[in-house]
Structure 1
Amino acid sequence: MRKLVALPVLSADALSSVAYGPEALLAVLVLAGTAGLGYVFPVSGAIVLLILAVGLSYRQTIRAYPHGGGSYIVAGDNLGPVAGLVAAAGLMTDYVLTVAVSIASGVAAVASAIPGFASVTVPLGLGVIALLLAGNLRGVRQAGVLFAAPTYAFIVAMFLLITIGLVQGIGEGFTPRPDPAVTATEGVGLLLIMRAFSSGATAMTGIEAISNAVPVFRPVAWRQARTTLSWMTGLLIAMFAGIIVLAHVADVVPSGQETVLSQLAHLSFGSGWLYVFVQAATAAVLLLAANTAYNDFPRVLSLLARDEFAPRMFMRLGDRLAYSNGIILLSLAAALVFVAFDGQTTALIPLYAVGVFLAFTLSQCGMVVHWWNKRSPNWRRSLAFNALGALLSFLVLITAGISKFTSGAWVAILAVGLFLLLTLRIHRHYSSVRASLRLRPDTAPAPQHTTTGPPVNEEREEREELPDDVHHLVLVALATLDLAGLRALAYAASLGQPVLALHIGLSEEEARRARAYWTAWGDHVPLEIVVSPYRATVAPLVHHVQALHQQHPGLTLTVVLPEIVTRHRGHQLLHNRTAPRLRRALRPLPKVVITAVPFHV
């Protein structure tokens, strides 16, 4: 992508957070009345410094990981697999809450302009999640065009609002408006300031998106990505600071009936078309920001599945080249969170900061270790930037965890702990299965087979057949050469019919490795390898069977599949269910039989 397209596509999440970040900050400070609002500038200044420091830190990440360096990869490479899993837990929590918070804030923007929608917040939000689910399962082409217009419209709307509001303030000589009617329910204290700081810091969620997606840029990708990140950081700081200053000048405080942005737009534009433009742009960018999680959540889940920390079904690409299972899981989790917290942004914000800054902290700590180990040119400066980012992110993490623990942060902390426990148990299971399947020196001799080739028959309609009319070819589908695969080959050879082994390779390198294994094993059975670069396995296998059927329509094809059968029923979900999918795909073809050979572990 060009920078002008990449900026809105990858920054929608971060830039749209100014729609709820400043309001979240003010919503905490207003609890202490006028005295609390007096701290708005010091707290906002600290958040601006935090955004700047983390933005500079991620510039170093882009330089070190030009092929994309998400928190899971960076933390796992430099701090170990457990740190990588904790970072992934923070990311997954962040993505689920991105969907819930963005939709809640978007619905609130709509309800501010059309009060009648306030009573149907939850059904409206669930409807939006359903639309995002359907759209992402079908795949979205030209995503850049889709994201660019609403994001740029939101940027224009915010700068119009800030500029016109401040110009009006200058024209009035910044005459103070009557103080809003706020009643102090808490005293000003350190805990209140900490809560306000961690709530306002949610305005920088999504700032890591560009560092995750470096390969999508035009060459030189990492330079383009760093420039785009700098623009995003500058726009984020300008909009966040502008909204805070304008709210202070206009004496606007959060209201349960209308968002802060809506109040500011009403003061500057009345109820005319500019007000409608601001609200529509805000709602649109928030709803599209929720969609960014649909790109990142399934991708991180597929990486976890690749490393055997998540069920392998999350590596599977659907017909539209999207990780369908990850998309469905994200939708279900976001819908559950949205309903549980009644679709209220203020209720969801306390959960948000923990996951975000947990991932930030581990990613930046990983970068510190990276620079220390590599000692590449300018490593000291890069290490200093990442160390500052790690320190500030850790302070926000601790602040959010302590100050918001009883307000909902405990839910995020519990989710991270459960995620870590679950992924480690899944990895242990896969390791146990791999050990059970590993070939040993005392493995039984390789099965022999007949060498006669399949007969060629003319295509004809199906009819009743006698045993002598049935001509076989046994096709053994192998994912890898292990004990389960050898058992399937032994069964196929025992039938006394011609046998052909078929391996679906996910890359040329894996195909070469499979051929080398096959040669070392003895090449007892003819092997065909099909390379599937999109990680699909069922479709290439089906296409191969269809081709064989078209070449030899009178041939009966028996497809033999090794199948892992686990002792515990719950573990079966962690293994691919290829046989049922193949049966459904091959049912329309005559003369095709699917046989599963179980291997118990």
Structure 2
Amino acid sequence: MGRDADDDGTVVTPSAEFPPLRPDEVDTLGRIGERWRAPRPPDGLPVDPTLDRYRERPTAGRFGRLAPIELFAVPPPQPAGLARAAGELVATEPANLPRSRPARALSRLRRVVLGPPLRSSAVLYERMRKLIALPILSSDLLSSVAYGPEAMLTVLVLAGGGALGLSLPLAGVLVVLMVAVGLSYRQTIPAYPHGAGSYIVASDNLGAMAGLTAAAGLMLDYVLTVAVSVAAGVHAVTSALPGLTPFTVPLGVLVIAVLLAGNLRGVRTAGNIFVLPTYAFVVAVLALLVVGWGRAAGRGFAPVPPPAVPAAEGLGLLLVLRAFASGAVSMTGIEAVSNAVPAFKPTEWRNARTTLGWMVAMLVVLFAGLTVLIHLDGLVPRPEETLLSQLGRLTFPTGPWYALLQAATALILLLAANTAFNDFPRLLFFMARDGHAPRRFLHMGDRLAFSNGLLALSVAAALVFVVFGGHTESLIPLYAVGVFLAFTLSQAGMVVHWRRRPGRGSRRRLALNALGATMSGLVLLTAAAAKFAQGAWLVVVAVPLLVLLFHRIHRHYATLHRALALRPPPVGPAPAEAAEGEELPQQVRHLVVVPVARLNRASLRALAYAASLGQPTLAVHIAPEDVEADRFREQWRAWGSHVRLETIVSPYRAVIGPLAHYLEALHAAGPELTLTVIVPEVVQRRRWHRPLHSRAEQRLRAALRPLPQVVVTSVPVHLTG
């Protein structure tokens, strides 16, 4: 069943991590509450739960003073209609939570790098206006003109210098494709005003399988976007400074780390960081085009013959298709605006559509202008220097202009990956909301950024960059398949969308999306076939594997939902076969078990805590031989035998296994019982003391975790010295 385009569930807020109950679940919850019977507690509570005493300035404690930075604050009076619920407190930033000196230093460094935390309500203000959104979302798209034309010419030159003339008709076809896909996404945005990513559009109109396939293609594209952009940026730096070539891989990893830190600071801060490089690149390339075209006009636009290049391959259809698919990488990032509609200031879809129009217009001008100018100047690709660098040296032979062009190019290529940093976490958010990705990707960090998604993208991109050695030409063959797979499915989904919603202008919109789907599909097939042997097979194999992974994740969450779903309570005691099915206090029957290794302060405190619960209690001692078992029973009698003791002799000296098997046998003998295992635990103040102890409590907890209806808790005794 498709999701309505105006469904509020697509709005990205911190509360998305906590979805509300459905009406039927609320009804079931009420029916459970009607049968809830618990022992009546004594009147009043031993402490004031509202923490009203903290209205006065408290003394300093472990976490620092509670004022002016408090752990909890009593809410101030609210305007009419905005009063908080009774008993509601507001948690404020904890002060100096880490206790060790290195941890405190790391916490301060984190605050310096990322900034102070933002309140959840600030999500309404962490939006982008058009002039900020344009550089953030277009850096990937516009920067691709620095390597897209070169990627196309690098393939054509394999057939010799005479084949370079084909760059003009191929560029013309690519411009038509850019316009068609751009217009298609422009009308997708108002149809899906809360985020028109390929995953959502394909899922709603073509089904879950198509949506997951589009998501897999986009995820691969975003990872490759970071790797390719950083590789191209580092190549631009090493073209101007050849001495840095041996440090290509460390430089690239460092750039990815800087991008991660910038995006972890939040949308608005990231926008302020990336505004200047993008606009500087656009101005620099426009200046290059103006001067270069002026020089060409001076000679009557007569093209300079390219240098003689021997042919390494014959000029055939396959080579032309490979060149076209390589040039198509200039379109990567064109979908970025439709994915990020909720990040715009109101009216979101209108501002997003305007921004997309600006992006496509700038892309067409820069791509077509550079391709034609390269042809007019007779330049050919060289491994030691990029085509844009060659064009800059030729156009600006003197003065600082070449250096400024290279600096702007390097900056935007290095920062172009920011588009992926903006969209990849948002894609994971929508997938996690639907149960196809881990739910940790729903969580917003303290700067209202999807921190887990940003970290996942950074790690994946850094691995790809290191594995391929930062070589742009090795990464580009992998690039076009994933993004054009998402383009094709998104546009095909929009065709179905308009067929389901006939009305004024729907036929025109359907035809435009059909054209975009057809052209994107042709590029997809061309790229997959022409570049299969060059590395595209990795993407072709990775997409179904990712889809399979998404299905397994969804199946796990479906099983979890069925297990945790609210059900009407049974009449009478819970049936024995309904393990862990108690939802009412009167259905729970207790047996408290306290493992006791020796009688000391820690074990006596655990026994006292167990007895205070007023439930049947059993102590268990594991002895390595009969002599020690007899000795412990004598000590137990000396204590007074206040609790029933059961002794287990373990002649092979194992402790955790026999205890776990004994508890499992107890559960089998009384399946209606809930076993509460209370473990005494000694807590060391210093971390280096921990290896001096066996940590049996953790091993016991891990061994008992798989057993049903076994609750494990610990009673700590803290060392003071």
Q: TM-score, normalization: structure 2?
A: 0.62
Contact 1:107 1:124 in 2 (8 A): yes
Letter in 2 for 1:448: P
* In 1, Cα distance between equivalents of 2:489 and 2:268: 34
Which of 212, 217, 222 is the equivalent residue of 1:90?
Answer: 217
Partner residue, 1:275: 402
* In 2, Cα distance between equivalents of 1:412 and 1:62: 28
Partner residue, 1:52: 179
Partner residue, 1:168: 295
* In 2, Cα distance between equivalents of 1:93 and 1:278: 30
Partner residue, 2:194: 67
- Is the counterpart of residue 434 in structure 1 residue 571 in structure 2? no
CA-CA distance at 1:174 after TM superposition: 3.7
* SS, match of residue 549 in structure 2: helix
Letter in 2 for 1:146: I
1:432-486 residue CA offsets vs partner (Å, 9 max, x unmatched) = 333344455566564338xxxxxxxxxxxxxx989989999xxxxxxxxxxxxxx
Partner residue, 2:663: none
Contact 2:139 2:418 in 1 (8 A): no
- Is the counterpart of residue 352 in structure 1 residue 479 in structure 2? yes
Which of 234, 239, 247 is the equivalent residue of 1:120?
Answer: 247
Which of 296, 315, 323 is the equivalent residue of 2:450?
Answer: 323
Contact 2:203 2:209 in 1 (8 A): yes
CA-CA distance at 1:376 after TM superposition: 3.5
* In 1, Cα distance between equivalents of 2:304 and 2:474: 30
The structure-2 alpha-carbon separation of the partners of 1:307 and 1:113, relative to structure 1 and needing over 3 Å to count, comes to same
* In 2, Cα distance between equivalents of 1:566 and 1:254: 62
Contact 2:260 2:455 in 1 (8 A): yes
* SS, match of residue 183 in structure 1: coil
* SS, match of residue 378 in structure 2: coil
- Is the counterpart of residue 35 in structure 1 residue 157 in structure 2? no
Structure 2 alignment gaps of length 5 or more:
1-127, 587-603, 614-670, 677-700
CA-CA distance at 1:35 after TM superposition: 2.6
Partner residue, 1:296: 423
CA-CA distance at 1:83 after TM superposition: 0.4
1:391-433 residue CA offsets vs partner (Å, 9 max, x unmatched) = 0000000000000000111011111111011111222222233
How much is the aligned-residue C-alpha RMSD, in angstroms?
Answer: 3.5
- Is the counterpart of residue 221 in structure 1 residue 348 in structure 2? yes
* SS, match of residue 187 in structure 1: coil
Size of the alignment, in residue pairs?
488
1:316-371 residue CA offsets vs partner (Å, 9 max, x unmatched) = 33333333322222122112211222211111111000001000000000000001
CA-CA distance at 1:217 after TM superposition: 2.9
- Is the counterpart of residue 205 in structure 1 residue 205 in structure 2? no
Contact 1:107 1:125 in 2 (8 A): yes
Letter in 2 for 1:196: A
* In 2, Cα distance between equivalents of 1:408 and 1:271: 41
Partner residue, 1:156: 283
Contact 2:478 2:539 in 1 (8 A): yes
Partner residue, 1:548: none
* In 2, Cα distance between equivalents of 1:33 and 1:193: 13
CA-CA distance at 1:564 after TM superposition: 12
Q: How do residues 490-509 of structure 1 correspond to structure 2 at under 5 angstroms?
A: none
* In 2, Cα distance between equivalents of 1:225 and 1:327: 23
* In 2, Cα distance between equivalents of 1:131 and 1:290: 11
The structure-2 alpha-carbon separation of the partners of 1:362 and 1:17, relative to structure 1 and needing over 3 Å to count, comes to same
* SS, match of residue 342 in structure 1: coil
Contact 1:448 1:493 in 2 (8 A): no
CA-CA distance at 1:141 after TM superposition: 4.4
* In 2, Cα distance between equivalents of 1:381 and 1:564: 64
Which of 273, 277, 298 is the equivalent residue of 1:146?
Answer: 273
Partner residue, 1:238: 365
The structure-2 alpha-carbon separation of the partners of 1:493 and 1:62, relative to structure 1 and needing over 3 Å to count, comes to same
* SS, match of residue 416 in structure 2: helix
Partner residue, 2:463: 336
CA-CA distance at 1:14 after TM superposition: 0.8
Partner residue, 1:9: 136
Partner residue, 1:396: 523
Partner residue, 1:131: 258
Which of 584, 588, 605 is the equivalent residue of 1:447?
Answer: 584
1:131-182 residue CA offsets vs partner (Å, 9 max, x unmatched) = 2233334546433322221111111011001110111122233454353231
* In 1, Cα distance between equivalents of 2:231 and 2:215: 24
Q: How do residues 382-531 of structure 1 correspond to structure 2 at under 5 angstroms?
A: 382-438=509-565, 446-448=583-585
* In 1, Cα distance between equivalents of 2:355 and 2:464: 32
* In 1, Cα distance between equivalents of 2:606 and 2:226: 60
* In 1, Cα distance between equivalents of 2:538 and 2:582: 55
The structure-2 alpha-carbon separation of the partners of 1:404 and 1:493, relative to structure 1 and needing over 3 Å to count, comes to closer
Letter in 2 for 1:408: G
CA-CA distance at 1:271 after TM superposition: 5.5
CA-CA distance at 1:212 after TM superposition: 1.5
Deviates more, 1:2-11 or 1:272-281: 2-11
The structure-2 alpha-carbon separation of the partners of 1:469 and 1:295, relative to structure 1 and needing over 3 Å to count, comes to same
Partner residue, 2:148: 21
Deviates more, 1:8-17 or 1:350-359: 8-17
* In 2, Cα distance between equivalents of 1:145 and 1:361: 33
Larger radius of gyration: 2
* In 2, Cα distance between equivalents of 1:492 and 1:299: 45
Structure 1 alignment gaps of length 5 or more:
450-463, 473-489, 496-560, 568-578, 591-601
Partner residue, 2:690: none
* SS, match of residue 39 in structure 1: helix
